[in-house]
Amino acid sequence: MSSSTLFENLSEQLKLEFQDLAQDTFEKIYALIDTAEADRSRRNEVFTQLRREAHNIKGSAPTYGFPAIGQIAHRLESYMNTCEEHTLQDWNSIRRFIDTMSRCLEL
């Protein structure tokens, strides 16, 4: 087996692992959003966790061959920096960002 074939196999394996990890992260984010919508007292805590998850995705997605997801995560992080009240509209917008990243994983 040539070194280029080994590299391609490794690259593909890493992409698959990232897809699994990202999907798990997106599910975690959806659960956090549900928590924030159900319990207003936890909104600041959840928002901080979501910002951390968006930052992690922003950094890791391009490394694994998903630059579009990294860009969307960057925009999500920027959007979250403008949110002050953590309104229902903010949570719905965050959910749409995650929906879009999730769809990108399927391409």
Instruction: State the DSSP string of 56-87.
Output: HHHHHHHHTT-HHHHHHHHHHHHHHHH-SS--
Please tell me the pTM assigned to this model: 0.88
* pLDDT for residue 22 is more than 90: yes
Nearest one of 107, 84, 17, 22 to 58, comparing CA atoms: 22
pLDDT for 1: 67
Element (DSSP H or E) covering residue 52: helix 43-63
* pLDDT for residue 86 is more than 90: no
C-beta of residue 104 within 8 angstroms of C-beta of residue 61 = no
